[in-house]
Structure formats: structure tokens, C-alpha cells
Structure 1
Amino acid sequence: MKPLRLKNCQRDIQASRDAAGVPHLQAANWLDAVYGLGFLHAIDRGTQMLFSRSVAQGTAAADISGSSELLETDHFFRRLGLGRLGESEAEALSENTREQLQAYCQGVNDGIAGVGRTLPIWATGFQITPWQPSSVLLVGQLLSFGGLAVSQMQNERLLIDLIHAGASEEGLKELFTPHLDDVDFELLRQVKMASQLSDDALEVLIDLPRLAGSNAWAVRPQRSASGGAMLASDPHLEINRLPAIWYEAVVRYGDRYVMGATLPGCPLFAVARTERLAWGVTYMKGDTVDFFVEDCRRTDDGVWQYRREQEWEDFTVREEIIQRKGGASETLLAYENPQGVLDSNPDERGPGYHLSIAWTGNNAGSGAAIASWLDVLSAEDAAAGMEIVRECTQPTLCWVFADREGHIGLQSCGRFPIRGGGHTGLTPIPAWDPANHWQGFHPTSILPRIYDPPEGFVATANENINPPGGPMFCTQILPGYRKRRIDERLQQLDHATLNDMQSLQYDLISLQASDLVALFLPHLPEGKLKERLSGWNFSFHPTSQEAPLFQSLYRNVLVEIFGHEEGIGWRRMVYLCSRAGFSGMVVAAIDRLLHQEKSCWWRVRDKGSMIHDAALRVDADAKITWADVNYFHFTDRYFGSHQVGRLFGFNSRQYPMPGHHATPFQGHVLQTAKRESTFAPSYHFVTDLSTDWAATNMPGGPSESRFSRYYNIDVPRWFSGEYKKLHGQPEPDSPPA
């Protein structure tokens, strides 16, 4: 262990780094410990925190760079009012929670003062202001909306775009049944659509902690070789932009400890364990954001109004001045009412139907979520932890727990609107009918939960978690390939070990491929394609030559069946199926439909003949491997896209990405003209509650400095599947897990 020099530290704490650079913090009590965590975040990830806060509060174009994409994201977040409730929410926190946040913020500010101006701070001319409790809440808002709810919003907007573009009404209704059964297609085609976010601006959002998919499971003692409960968790995010999203830490205070993945800017442990309890989280994919259709008009004196039944009311107009580094400031007018905020300025598109956006996180009380993250650290067992996190208002998550006594559980959380008129929330509905408005929020007592299931394990992987006959918390249903594979493997393990848990986290078998190859084979022409896919084990290992063959066939089938101009259109279909991890709602709906015998999509042409014709366009002699098509480069999130970054080696060599969107190791890469985006395990964590250690690895390291040996120190472990040990109790250095 290497002691850390804590310049400007104002409390009695000690810190050191292990061989992997993970900081180990020792404090007398929790308030000193949370101060120390803030201090460590500041010295290792200060730039990441400060830049994230600027993005969240919509001042990035003034603080960081006057680039067009940052200006666009400033407009986006300021229109939505992401940071408007920060101060009032901080004031509304309990005294206990506020005391902890103040200690954390003191640690952040003392750490930043001790470090001084980092290279990115100096290069951008960024002006540092103190970290405050409202800053913590703002980073939480950024995670909840920019990293999660925005993906729901973008998929809902994608559906509106398909309707606007004239895609087959009958075909879309069948594809997304029953969500579109009562949708007024003609009304939606009349809506004046705001411009979509540009690719550059979307990539700023992708750069946020965005749980595109994750895995977590727990095993009871009767299925464990050690006799202790075990937990495994691996949240999936973009992983090719360094520094890594997560910051590992081991924190000891008094006779207690907590260790795992923390989020710089917040005193929370997303995936972690204490001496009594372990937890991991996955994105529930809960629908907490809705579009409404507003009927708008402008009065003779220039006032914009919205209709409620036959009456007209004035919008509340909020004026936002957006500064731009090196350029003139811009004025944004946000038009609001109790149902939401218009997605554009009606002056630019004129009277008529406009979309408005509503998000539950913009309601009072959302800031209290941080209390759940703090309180769970002191939970004594799984049942207590589940009760605490059930009240977490945002983001929508599935928490998996395992405790020292052998209990396991799953608890979902989030604030879900009670939607009026029986609507699901997937498509916009008229706001002029008060019956369509939100009618409050569902009680947390009805949120899905599982405790000590008889099968001896519990797992979640972004599957459909809607209760039978209950509210539709999730509207963008994924097919559950990863969940099925995890359940399948856990069912086979009567005496599971940590090595089994690690192997499952690196599992590359696709049940999507297994299902669809069985569907495709009877219709394939005799020859090499059929022979090669018949003998494939459905692994998306980088060396596999059948994986790219299947992917080529799959995309050709989708374009052949759904890409005609009376359907979705071939250009849009190519776009969608090349972004399977990003437009999962559409691809998942298509996968379900492909297994049906009858459909309007193959009413004119037989499904089997279309699969046959698609196969004729596949090069069955191709010898390329999955690594040849599914690869990526690590790059620095501050300098990687700039000439100075390329000059000083901020971009890595090409790496193969194992897996794809339907394998437990979700390795999805999106190649665009300007950059690569990835979704993959951002942290691997497994632990046995009969011990006091955890095995981990991550695609990165503790430091945000490209010139630090701890910048990407864990990357070789992440690729090889090797795990390191984190010890809750002080122990000497030990060999890999």
C-alpha cells in the first residue's frame, strides 16, 4: 500500500493506494469518511465532476467550450429546467442528510484547492466555483435524466418520427401492440416537430453515465459452494471514454467498511458491499417521461396560449440567457404549463399542435433520492435495504441484495406517474383533455419486489418487470435474452463459486442468435451459410467467424421484411438495426414479431421466401471474425477528439469488443463517421458474504490524468477476465481473485 499525501486536508483521515491504485480510506467516523470520499473524488476526478455539473446546469458552452454541441445541450437542459430545483431541494433535505452532504462537499472543495488547476481546467479557462449540496443533487439529476430518462424520451420520439414519416399504420400497430391501439395517427402527423438533437449533441449525452443495460444477481447459501450468499453486478455504460465513469474506493470508519463503485460528485456507492450487506443495480427502464400534444395559438398582442377543453390559458414563459465562450449570448424562451414544457419555441413553427415534455424528476421531492443512497450504507440486512431503496424517487432501478445471514432480494424503485385516460405513456396524448393528465404518482408499495425466492437465486437484466395486471411501469419492453441466459446458467449451478459468477459475467452466448437461427434455418438455401450457422455455438467471441455471418443475415432479413417504402423504409431500417443497442425498442419488437406465423408484414410475400432472399445477399464465404467488425478504441473524454490529444497519445490502438447486445457480456459498438460509442460492462463486482472481500475489475482506473499510471491500470484485467481483490478489513497484498 502506498500512502497518499492529502494536501489541504482538514480532517483526521488517512488514505493509501493498493497496487491497482484503488484508494483505501481510514476515518474515525462516517462524517470524516464521507469528507474523505469527497476529497479523494476531487484529487482524482475533479475535472470530471466540475465539467459534469456545468453540463447539467446548462452552462457548458460558457464554462468549457463554445462548441455547437455544448451550446445545443445547454439549450436542451435549460429548456427542461434540469437544475432549477437544486437549491430548494437541498434546503428540503433532512438535517442528517444535509450534514452528510456538507461534509462531502467540504472534502471536495478542500481537495480541489489542494490539487489546483488540472490540465483540462487550465486549457479551457474553466472558472472553479465551490461544490455544494445542490451540486450533488444536480449530478444526480444528470444521471437520472441525461443518462437514463433521455433514452426513453429518444425512443418515444423515434416512434413519433416513424409515424410522421408515413410508416405503415397497420404495421406499426402490430409491431408495438397494444401500445398503439388507441393512438390517433392523423393527429400525430399534424404535430409540429422540433428538430432532433444533432449527433454531436447526442454524443455529449451518451458520454453521461447511461445505464443502457446491466446485469445483477444474487445466490442464496443453499446454491453456494461456500455456504454464504453471493452477489454479482455489472452495470453497462459507454466504456471507451476515459477516465472511467466509476471510481472505486474502500472506505473504513470505526469498525465498519463500505467498498465498491462510487460516482464522482456524489457520496453514493452504486455497486458495493459492507460487512453485512451487498448490492448492485440495473436500469429498470421505467417510463417516467411523457410527451403531450398541446394545441397552441398566439393572441393578437403576441401572447402564446394553450387549450384546455374549450378554454385558452397563457403559457408561463421562462427566459434563460445562455452564454457562449468566445461568442454572443443567446436568449432561450421556455413555454411551460402544469403538464410540461414545449420542446421548442412556438414562434419558430407557428400555431397548431406542439409537443410538450413532462418528467417526474422535475417535481418537488426528487432530491430526496440521495438519502436512500446514503441510508442503505447502514442497512443491516437485505430486508432493511429493500425498505430503504423502495423510497428512492429516481432513477428507476432494480436493486439486488445479498446479506451475511443468507437472505437475498430484488427491489425496484422510482417515481411513476398515474397516467390518466388509461394511456401507457409510450405515445403523446392530447393535453387539452384533463382526463389525460397525470393523476399523481403510484405508491411505492406496489413496486415489484422479490425476497428469498424458492429457486435460490434472483437475477435482473433489464427484462420486462411489469407486474401481471398491474401498472405498466416499463413501456419499452426488451426481449430478455440476457436475463434468460443468466437464469439458465444459475439454474445449472447447484454449488456456485465466485469463479462461476465471474465466468457468467464474461458469458458470450446469445440466446437471440439461438432463437433466430432456429427460425431462419428452414428457409435458408442449401450451402455454406446454412452449414456454418447449423454448427455454430452462438458465441460472440472475438475470434468467431459465424457471429458476423449471423449479424449480416439478421440485418438483411430486417431490411427485406421491414425496409420497404410502405413499411419503415430501407434507409431507416438500416439505421435502426445497426444501432441495436441504441434503438432496442424497435429491434426487440421486431424479434418478437418474427416468431409469429401470421402478420401483415408478410401478408403479400411469404416470410420464409423473404428470409431466403435475404440470405442470398450474405457472403457465405466471408472469413472475417467478430473482432474485425466489433472493435473500438479508448479515447480521452477531454482531449481525445482534438489534435493535441492525438499528438500526445490520448487515443489507444484498436481493441476487439467481445459479445453483443444480447449476451450477458453486452459488448455493443456503434461506429459513426465522427466517433465510436460503446455499451459494455463498466464494472465487474462479485462477492461472497461469508467473506470480507470482493473481486472486481473495470475498463479504466482511478485517475483522470492521461499521464498517471492509474489512468487505465485495470484495462488488461478487464479484457482478460482477471479480477483483483478488495478487502474490507485491512490485509496484506494478495494474489488476483
Structure 2
Amino acid sequence: MLSSMKKIPLPKTRRRFEAARDENGVVHVSATTWLDALFGLGYLHATDRPTQLLFSRSVASGRAAEEISSTPELLETDRFFRRIGLALDLEHEVRLLDDHIFTQLTAYCEGVNEAFKESGRSLPMWATGFVPQPWNQQSVLLIGKLLSFGGLAVSQMQNERLLIELIHSGVDDDALRELFAPRLDDVDLETIREVKTSNQLSDEALELITDLPRLAGSNAWAVSPQRSESGCALLASDPHLEINRLPAIWYEAVLHWDDRYVMGASLPGCPLFAVARTPALAWGVTYMKGDTIDYFIEDCRPGGETGWQYRRNTTWHDFELREEIIERKGSEPETLSVYHNPVGTLDGLPDEGEKGLYLSLAWSGQHEGNGTAISAWLDVITSRNTRDAMRVARECAQPTLCWVFADKEGHIGLQSCGRIPKRGGGQIGLAPIPAWDEANHWQGWIASERLPSIYDPPEGFVATANEEMNPPDLPMLVTQPLNDYRKRRITERLQELPQATLEDMQNLQYDVISVQARDLLDVFLPHLPDGELKDRLANWDFSHDPDSREAVLFHKLYRNVIYESFGHEQGIGWRRIVYICTRAGYSMMVLAAADRLLQQDESVWWHGRDKGELIRRAAERTEGVVDEPWSSVNNFHFTDRFFGNHQVGRILGFKSRQYPMPGNHATPFQGHVLQTATRESTFAPSYHFVTDLGTDEAWTNLPGGPSESRFSKYYKNDVARWFSGEYKRLTSNVS
């Protein structure tokens, strides 16, 4: 079946399959049965991405200092994941799997282990002395939990910690409540100010965690047959992740068995396809940003059998104590004491002998049954149509996602999923919740059938792009303020396309028009003095093309307006607001909330000042800035995920030249560049996928290639295509 492609030599394996690469290096697996095809996928994941699999498992299990290197940042990351307990109860979760899912995971793991036997250690493994251990069903579930927590819930946790910092820093209560309205309306801010907080993760450790797959933003939409030129349903999806660290997160593959196939982006370490299609169905996902994580406030005192106690009403109870032994390569092991109770896990150790209020962390992914999320990913592949797939997807417990579907029959749909807690006591969840009042505890989960869902809407399309999704008949699902700029731009363009084509879908994935700039310039321009700045911005098309000079002017003006409006002493403060606006401390949550206030005429934040005067002062600061293209301020380098920051990586050429990044956080092509302590971080389309359900093909590109080896021609062979907006064809017809 694969005779027209470049065959991949295979040894005799326990399951039979053929493998080949097409002209773009994408692997095709041909097998008799689905289990044989899954075996082949596991084999090729372990052949092309062995380090990605094994290092990710080490980090998630809190054993990186033992197995990779005992650096301070890896040790800190181990403490973090051991405290969260990602690797706990995995055997129990495996026992909860349905037999047909367990069988599929087994076939996949057998393929991974077969390849490990054949290939030996990779260069990064050899350099660190890493000794591979077999892959098993627990490993698959652990990678899934890593994606759910390390890649997604951590961002919610960071935002909630930032809010606590703002409360502690003395920002005026009325101003905070207005900025985050209605999320803080009934919150006792004084109690939060009494909380003793532990140290945050260092920048270096946070960089390691943010290097994990995280859907910082994504776009997905589907178009019904009546709005497509072909008369068939169309689907487009582009998950947004960090893209400048090679190898690429996703592993593109086409699996053939019987008369069926699945093609798209798979995740090494798991037999799942995040964005893909079959003969009957296509799907993509975005991060819903549903709030699955809460900080509780525990009233603690020393004492009891375990050393510390917590209060419920007037009664004191012993914390449970879990001691984690963290082995360290070349160093003595250390013991980590983790205090927890049925509500959550204490965030660090209480100060020596000092009673008081401390934070406790609760995540819905720590509860029984979350490991079965892999079932949804596998069952979607065999779903016959959109309605069947929506029923499957809504039961996916972790992470919170919006799935978009289109099928051969012409139906389209959107289905959200995730285990979101019912919060007691009328609590919203963005701010810490007192745990001593049991009425505040979680009261189970919001029923999956009540989560947002759309099927064959009259407008003829569905679209999602990380906008706030809070139906009025439900508790607040998304508790952090989010902007809807990308969603609105996508919707506008789809409304303008009565007969959409695949080329239209591709162009929309590369759209760099900012609705944010359009909205805010409507506010700013009437207050700007006549002159070059006003004229140029008034005639700008809001494009964030790398050559645009007006994009730079707008963002300098925007930052200065933010500084003037929110940086005064009674507000967030000058230093903190500058940090929040820069690449180092950028907070989408705070700035999304600020954007909404800027469109109001009156606000506590203006502190008795005229908003127009604040904008004029910001314009004065902007006059005379260097006139430069967007590419001069929004750019990045590709580097290697395993060697990039090390001297050996620089010697071997693991860091690329500088590349311009199109777009920004508010454009459909989300080209968002951040700068942390020691490296750049990017959020941009990690995979472009468009398909017409009237065909058996898809059109794709990604910033990378199939191989993790810097010395392979398939390491970054799709990068040029990703920059140019050219798409390659994936097809099921390979004979």
C-alpha cells in the first residue's frame, strides 16, 4: 500500500505493519487492524521522538533530578510536581479503564518499547546518562495529566497567584473589584491579606514547566455545507503553543487500517490525535480555560500526630502527611514533606512553628476518574458523525476544552468538556476561598450535559478562540477575564464568506488584523492631538504584518495609556504595571480586564482624572519614538528543546538566526513573544490544519518536522512552509 513512498526499514516485530514517509517526511502506517496501527504509531513515536517521551515522563513524575540532571531548576520542578502528585494513583486509574481502551493502550505501549529496544539511547540521553525504562499504560496517563496540569491548569494557578499579589500589594479595594468585576464582589480581601504565601517558582523552573505542551490559545472553526463552495463541511484548527523550541510538540502521522484512516497531529507518548480527521469526521480543539483549580485558605497551627493541624469551624484536625524522597543524580536525596487534607494540598511548608493562614491548592484532576480522559480521544476516532463525537467528547474529564467537529454528512458542532467544580457558598473561584467554612468546599462537578454545546447552528458555522464561555444559566466556568479579539475577527471573516473555500480557511489562519487595535483606537483617537501620530494611526488597517510600522506605534501608545491609567500609586503601581506589560511578566488576564475599563467613560482607576487627559499624556510619551517595523520588536529564534541553553547546543548550532513573528496575541495568527529570565518564549500556531469533508485529504503545516534529531533532514523541514503560509497535502490515497 505504501509502495509510492520511502519505506522505513523495520525489524520483525510482534505486530505486523508497514511504515513509510511521504515526500514531506510525514509517516504513514499501514496495518491490517487498528491495534496493529496503534502499535506502529507507538513504534514511530519512540523512533523519532524518544527523548521527548522519556524526558517528559521524568519531569511529570518528579524524577528529573534523579534521571536527567540534578540542576537547581530540575530539582525545583521535581518538588513542584511531587507536591501536586501527578504520578499518584496511576495504577488505580489504569484499573478504571474500559477493557477496549486498556487493550489499545497496551498495543501502543508495546510499539514504543519495541522501538526502544531497537534504537538505543538518543544523544541527549547519552549526554545526561539517562537510562530508559519501559513505557506502560501509566506512562500514557501521566503524559495526559502533564498536558492537563503542567500545560493548562498552571496558567490558571499563576493568574490566581498574581491576583493574590495585587491584593497584598495594597491596590485600592474598590479599584480591584471594578477591574475584575464581578469576580471579587463578595470576597473578603482583608482575610486574603493575612495569608502567608510561599515563594513562587523561580523563573528557571517556570521556564521548564512552560516548555511543556500548553494550549495557551487556539483557534478552531467549522463551516456547514450551505456556506462552503464545495457543498461539503469544512474544518480548520490551529492549536497555539510554544513553537520556538524544537522538536515540534506535535507528531504528524497518517494511520491506515482496513478501509479506514486517521490523519493529523498526534502527541508523542499518547495514542491520541489532537487535531485530525477520519473518513467520516474531522475535529480540532481549543483550551476552554475553564477553572479547575482553586486556592483555599487554611487556618493552621502546629500540633497533632503529623506536626500540623487545620481548622473546620471550631474543630482542629490533623493534616495527612506524605513524605516524598527525591533522589538526585550525584547528590544526597532530599525528603519533601507534603501536608494535605480532603480539600487540597498545602502550598509549601508552614513557617517554622508559626500558626496562621496558609494557602492550599485544589485541582479537579487530582480526583478519581480523570485518567479515563484518554478514552474520549480514542473513541472520537471511531465516532461515526458529529453528534456521536460530541457525546464522546463531553465526557473528557481533563483538560477543559472546546471541541469543534465537522462530518461527511454535513453536520457541524461545538462541544465543551472538563471536570469543573461546583463551588459552594456562592464562590466564583478566582480568589482564595476560606476552607474552615465547609459550605465553601466543592460540591461535586458541573454535569457534563450542561456544558456549552452547539449543533448545526442557523448561521452555518461554529468558531471558538479562547473567549469567555460563561452561559447565564451556569456558575462561572471561566473565572479569569479573557478577551474575545481573535474570536470576533474569525466570526467577522466567516460572515463575509458565503461560499468559503479551503484557501479562505488558510488565509484566515494567517490573518494578522487586530480587533483590539480597532476597538481601542476608537477610544484613543478622539483624544489625540493633531499630528503625525494621530494621522498614521487613523489611516492604519490594524495589520500586524512584520513590515507594519504603525503596529509598533499603536503598542507603544497602548502601553503608555496602561501606565498612565493603572500605574499610579493608588493603583497597581508603576513598577508592577510596567512588568505586567513587558515580555517578562505579561499578564493577559490583567490586560484583558484593563482593556474593558479603557472603553468606559468613568472608572475608579482614573482617580478623579480625565481619561482624555491620560490618553493625551500617553501620546506625548509616544511622540518621537523610534520608527521601526513590527519585525524589529516581535521576533524570535528557534532553539533546541534539549540542548538550546547549553554551551554544547550553541557549539552545534542549535540556535537559529532571528525570525520575524507575524501577528500578536489579539490576531487570529497569534504571534505572541515573551522574554523570561534566560530565554524567549513564544505562543503561536503549532499546527495548521484545514480539510474539506467531501475529500479524503487535509492541508497542513507546522513549525518543525517529524524528527527530534538536529542532524536529521526532518528536524525542521516544515518551517519554511509555516512561515510562507504554504500548506502540504495529507492524503489517504497512498497506493
Q: Shorter-chain TM-score category?
A: over 0.9
Tell me how far 1:262 sits from its aligned partner: 0.3
C-alpha distance in structure 2 between counterparts of 1:481 and 1:411, whole Å: 21
C-alpha distance in structure 1 between counterparts of 2:653 and 2:342, whole Å: 50
Q: Quick check: 1:554 aligned with 2:558?
A: yes
Question: Deviation digits for residues 638-662 of structure 1, max 9, x if unmatched?
Answer: 0110111101101100000000000
C-alpha distance in structure 2 between counterparts of 1:479 and 1:705, whole Å: 38
C-alpha distance in structure 2 between counterparts of 1:412 and 1:493, whole Å: 26
Match of 1:715 in 2: 719
Check whether the contact 1:553–1:614 (CA below 8 A) recurs between aligned residues: yes
C-alpha distance in structure 2 between counterparts of 1:125 and 1:221, whole Å: 55
Counterparts in 2 of 1:77 and 1:8: CA distance versus 1, 3 Å: farther
Aligned pairs (5 A) from 1:16-35:
16-35=20-39
From 193, 212, 219, the counterpart of 1:215: 219
Q: Quick check: 1:361 aligned with 2:373?
A: no
Q: Quick check: 1:120 aligned with 2:93?
A: no
Return the letter of the residue paired with 1:432.
W
Report SS of the residue matched to 2:422.
strand
Q: Quick check: 1:458 aligned with 2:462?
A: yes
Match of 2:252 in 1: 248
Q: Quick check: 1:323 aligned with 2:324?
A: no
Aligned pairs (5 A) from 1:218-233:
218-233=222-237
Aligned pairs (5 A) from 1:272-671:
272-299=276-303, 303-348=307-352, 350-579=354-583, 582-620=586-624, 622-671=626-675
From 159, 162, 169, the counterpart of 1:165: 169
From 245, 249, 258, the counterpart of 2:262: 258
Check whether the contact 2:304–2:318 (CA below 8 A) recurs between aligned residues: no
C-alpha distance in structure 2 between counterparts of 1:166 and 1:621, whole Å: 33
C-alpha distance in structure 2 between counterparts of 1:327 and 1:163, whole Å: 40
C-alpha distance in structure 1 between counterparts of 2:676 and 2:47, whole Å: 34
Match of 2:709 in 1: 705
Question: Deviation digits for residues 488-526 of structure 1, max 9, x if unmatched?
Answer: 000000110000000000000000000111110111122
C-alpha distance in structure 1 between counterparts of 2:67 and 2:311, whole Å: 39
Match of 1:735 in 2: none
C-alpha distance in structure 2 between counterparts of 1:582 and 1:392, whole Å: 31
Report SS of the residue matched to 1:617.
helix
Match of 1:95 in 2: 99
C-alpha distance in structure 2 between counterparts of 1:333 and 1:179, whole Å: 33
Counterparts in 2 of 1:617 and 1:347: CA distance versus 1, 3 Å: closer
C-alpha distance in structure 2 between counterparts of 1:436 and 1:471, whole Å: 14
Report SS of the residue matched to 2:733.
coil
Question: Deviation digits for residues 271-322 of structure 1, max 9, x if unmatched?
Answer: 0000000000000000000000000001287720000000000000000011
Q: Quick check: 1:79 aligned with 2:96?
A: no
From 140, 145, 151, the counterpart of 1:141: 145
Check whether the contact 2:28–2:254 (CA below 8 A) recurs between aligned residues: yes
Tell me how far 1:165 sits from its aligned partner: 1.1
Report SS of the residue matched to 1:179.
coil
C-alpha distance in structure 1 between counterparts of 2:618 and 2:582, whole Å: 16
Check whether the contact 2:306–2:320 (CA below 8 A) recurs between aligned residues: no
C-alpha distance in structure 2 between counterparts of 1:333 and 1:672, whole Å: 30
Report SS of the residue matched to 2:359.
strand
Return the letter of the residue paired with 2:487.
K
Report SS of the residue matched to 2:263.
strand
From 244, 268, 275, the counterpart of 1:271: 275
Tell me how far 1:469 sits from its aligned partner: 2.8
Tell me how far 1:347 sits from its aligned partner: 4.4
Match of 2:113 in 1: 109
Report SS of the residue matched to 2:360.
strand
From 692, 697, 706, the counterpart of 1:693: 697
C-alpha distance in structure 1 between counterparts of 2:171 and 2:29, whole Å: 57
Report SS of the residue matched to 2:568.
coil
C-alpha distance in structure 2 between counterparts of 1:452 and 1:538, whole Å: 32
When structure 1 is superposed on structure 2, of 715-724 and 552-561 the one drifting more is: 552-561
C-alpha distance in structure 1 between counterparts of 2:479 and 2:584, whole Å: 17
Counterparts in 2 of 1:582 and 1:414: CA distance versus 1, 3 Å: farther
**Gap regions ≥5 residues in structure 2:** none
Check whether the contact 2:400–2:416 (CA below 8 A) recurs between aligned residues: yes
Check whether the contact 1:235–1:682 (CA below 8 A) recurs between aligned residues: yes
Match of 1:183 in 2: 187
Tell me how far 1:620 sits from its aligned partner: 4.2
Tell me how far 1:605 sits from its aligned partner: 1.3
Check whether the contact 1:212–1:581 (CA below 8 A) recurs between aligned residues: no
Check whether the contact 2:48–2:707 (CA below 8 A) recurs between aligned residues: yes
Tell me how far 1:729 sits from its aligned partner: 2.5
Tell me how far 1:531 sits from its aligned partner: 1.1
Return the letter of the residue paired with 2:412.
I
Report SS of the residue matched to 1:665.
coil
Report SS of the residue matched to 2:49.
helix
Question: Deviation digits for residues 197-256 of structure 1, max 9, x if unmatched?
Answer: 111111111101110100000000000000110000000000000000000000001100
Report SS of the residue matched to 1:660.
coil
Tell me how far 1:6 sits from its aligned partner: 2.0
**Gap regions ≥5 residues in structure 1:** 732-737
C-alpha distance in structure 2 between counterparts of 1:564 and 1:230, whole Å: 49
Check whether the contact 2:235–2:405 (CA below 8 A) recurs between aligned residues: yes
Report SS of the residue matched to 1:334.
strand
When structure 1 is superposed on structure 2, of 343-352 and 186-195 the one drifting more is: 343-352
Tell me how far 1:579 sits from its aligned partner: 4.3
C-alpha distance in structure 2 between counterparts of 1:75 and 1:348, whole Å: 19
Tell me how far 1:327 sits from its aligned partner: 1.8
Report SS of the residue matched to 1:394.
coil
Check whether the contact 2:463–2:487 (CA below 8 A) recurs between aligned residues: yes
C-alpha distance in structure 2 between counterparts of 1:581 and 1:537, whole Å: 29
C-alpha distance in structure 2 between counterparts of 1:300 and 1:405, whole Å: 64
Q: What's the C-alpha RMSD, in Å, of the aligned pairs?
A: 1.2
C-alpha distance in structure 2 between counterparts of 1:25 and 1:308, whole Å: 57
Query: How many residues were matched structurally?
Result: 731
Report SS of the residue matched to 1:719.
helix
Counterparts in 2 of 1:36 and 1:349: CA distance versus 1, 3 Å: farther
Report SS of the residue matched to 1:26.
strand
Tell me how far 1:622 sits from its aligned partner: 2.8
Return the letter of the residue paired with 1:550.
F
* TM-score normalised per structure 1: 0.98
Match of 1:734 in 2: none
* TM-score normalised per structure 2: 0.98
Match of 1:55 in 2: 59
Counterparts in 2 of 1:300 and 1:450: CA distance versus 1, 3 Å: closer
Return the letter of the residue paired with 2:440.
N
C-alpha distance in structure 1 between counterparts of 2:107 and 2:413, whole Å: 32
